[in-house]
A = this chain, B = another copy of it.
Amino acid sequence: MTDPRYDVLAIGNAIVDVISDATDAFLESHGLDKGSMRLIDEAEAESLYEAMGPGREISGGSAGNTAAGLAALGCRTAFAGQVASDQLGAIYKHDIEASGVDFLVEPRGDVGATARCLILVTPDAQRTMNTFLGAANQLQPGVIDEAAVADAGIVYLEGYLWDLPHAKEAMEKAMDVARAAGRKVSFTLSDSFCIARHRADFLRLIEEGKIDILFANEAEIVELAKKGDVDEAVEAIGPKVPLLVVTRSEKGAIAVEDGHRARVAAEKISQLVDTTGAGDLFAAGFLAGQAKGLDLEQSLKLGAIAAAEVIQHYGARPEADLRELASAIL
CB-based contact A54/B94 at 8 Å: yes
The one of B18, B52, B56, B319 that contacts A21, using a Cβ cutoff of 8 Å? B319
Given A21-B319, A87-B87, A88-B87, check contact A98 B56 (CB 8 Å): no
A95–B57 alpha-carbon span in the complex (Å): 11
Contact string, A42-59, partner B, CB cutoff 8 A, digits 1/0?
000000011011111111
A50–B55 alpha-carbon span in the complex (Å): 24
Interface size class of A (residues with CB under 8 A): 20 to 34
CB-based contact A49/B94 at 8 Å: yes
Name 26 A/B residue pairs within 8 A (Cβ), A-sorted.
Answer: A18-B91, A20-B98, A21-B319, A49-B94, A50-B94, A52-B94, A52-B98, A53-B98, A54-B59, A54-B94, A54-B95, A54-B98, A54-B99, A54-B317, A55-B91, A55-B95, A55-B98, A56-B56, A56-B57, A56-B58, A56-B314, A57-B57, A57-B58, A57-B91, A87-B87, A87-B113
A58–B99 alpha-carbon span in the complex (Å): 19
Q: Which residues of B contact A50 (CB under 8 A)?
A: 94
A54–B55 alpha-carbon span in the complex (Å): 17
CB-based contact B54/A68 at 8 Å: yes
- A interface SS class: mixed
Report the nearest B residue to A49, measured CB to CB.
Answer: B94
A141–B157 alpha-carbon span in the complex (Å): 53
Contact string, A136-167, partner B, CB cutoff 8 A, digits 1/0?
00000000000000000000000000000000
A315 near B: Cβ within 8 Å?
A: yes
Q: Which residues of B contact A94 (CB under 8 A)?
A: 49-50, 52, 54-55
Q: Which of A54, A314, A315 has the most CB of B within 10 A?
A: A54
A86 near B: Cβ within 8 Å?
A: yes
A87–B315 alpha-carbon span in the complex (Å): 19
A88–B86 alpha-carbon span in the complex (Å): 10
| Interface contacts beyond A54-B99, A57-B57, A87-B87: sample of 7 additional A-B pairs, CB < 8 Å, sorted by A | A18-B91, A21-B319, A50-B94, A52-B94, A55-B95, A56-B314, A56-B315
Q: Which residues of B contact A49 (CB under 8 A)?
A: 94
A49–B50 alpha-carbon span in the complex (Å): 29
What is the CB-to-nearest-CB distance from A93 to chain B, in angstroms, rounded to a whole number? 10
Q: Which of A50, A87, A99, A314 has the most CB of B within 10 A?
A: A87
What is the CB-to-nearest-CB distance from A315 to chain B, in angstroms, rounded to a whole number? 7
In A14-56, which residues have CB < 8 Å from any B CB? 18, 20-21, 49-50, 52-56
Q: Which residues of B contact A95 (CB under 8 A)?
A: 54-55
Q: Which 10 pairs of residues, A with B, have the shortest CB-CB distance? A: A57-B57, A54-B95, A87-B87, A54-B98, A53-B98, A56-B58, A54-B99, A87-B88, A56-B56, A86-B87
